[in-house]
Amino acid sequence: MEKISRPFSYIRYDHIDSLDPKDHALLQQARRATSLAYAPYSKFRVGAALQLSNGIIVSGANQENASFPAGICAERVALSTVSSQYPGCKIEAMALSYDNKAGESDHPVSPCGICRQSLAEWEQRQSFPIKIILGGLTGEIYIIEFASLLLPLAFSAGDMTV
């Protein structure tokens, strides 16, 4: 028997004003993107902002549907936009924020499992790390250096090769 440990670390900031200007701007864009969400059922509006290698910022917001679970998360809305409008362009960073209309929006929340899988695969296929910036509308912020850290032992295309 062998116990294997895979460490997880992130950088914590007390306030958005402590971030470097590029990360600050990207998180602000994610916060603004929460207003684009369609979340009449959960009242949990999520915004994502992606910094592309060509300098463009792409935003996305969650889109719910009465035929649950037919909705799509903000992260995958933004990833789909990049895939269709900026094919081949690398994603350098993704900022996520949320506006919880049924409670507080004062601490970081992490992507769901499907979005973690999508981010890990995107990072793998572009062979370039995606920095993840997590923050609510207020409060502390977490920065994770690689999206793949969010999903240890991820299932990947390599698992399907013969």
Over residues 12-40, the pLDDT tens digits come to 999 999 999 999 999 999 999 999 999 99
* Beta-strand relationship, 44-52 and 11-13: unpaired
Q: Do residues 48 and 94 touch, judged by C-beta distance below 8 A?
A: yes
Predicted model pTM: 0.95
**Catalytically annotated residues:** 75
- What's the pLDDT band for 57 if we cut at 50, 70, 90? very high
Domains in the chain with CATH codes: 11-149 (3.40.140.10)
